[in-house]
Chain A
Amino acid sequence: MDLEAAKVIGAGLAAIGVGAAAIGVGNVFGSFLESAIRNPAAADGQQGRLFIGFAAAELLGLIAFAVAMIILYAV
Chain B
Amino acid sequence: MAAESKIDPMHQFQIQPLAGNLDGSPFVFTNSALWMLIVLALIWLFMLGGMKRQLVPSRWQVAVEGVTSFITSMLSTNVGPEGRKYVPWVFTVFMFILFANLIGMMPFAIVPGAHPFTVTSQFTVTGVMAIISFGIVLVVGLWKHKLHFFSLFVPKNTPFALKLLIVPIEFVSFMVRPFSLALRLFVAMIAGHILVEVFGSFVVGGINAGGVMGPAISLLSFVFIIGVMALELLVCAIQAYVFALLTSLYINDAVNLH
Contacts and interface: CB of A to CB of B under 8 A. Distances in A.
Interface of A: 48, 51-52, 54-55, 58-59, 62-63, 65-66, 69, 73
A48 B76 CA distance: 13
Nearest to A55: B242
Interface string B225-258: 0000000000000100110011001000000000
B172 to A, nearest CB: 15
Contacts of B180: 59
B38 interface: no
Chain B interface mostly helix, strand, loop or mixed?
Answer: helix
A62 B249 contact: no
Given A48-B78, A52-B245, A52-B249, A59 B10 contact: no
A51 B245 contact: yes
Given A51-B238, A51-B241, A62 B246 contact: no
Contacts of A51: 238, 241-242, 245
A39 to B, nearest CB: 19
B118 to A, nearest CB: 15
Contacts of A69: 190
A55 B246 contact: yes
A63 B176 CA distance: 13
Interface in B76-111: 77-78
Nearest to B235: A58
A28 to B, nearest CB: 13
Q: Which 3 A/B pairs are nearest by Cβ-Cβ distance? A: A62-B187, A55-B242, A59-B184
Given A52-B245, A55-B242, 11 more contacts: A48-B78, A48-B245, A52-B242, A52-B249, A55-B246, A59-B180, A62-B184, A62-B187, A65-B191, A69-B190, A73-B10
Contact of B183 (A48, A52, A62, A73): A62
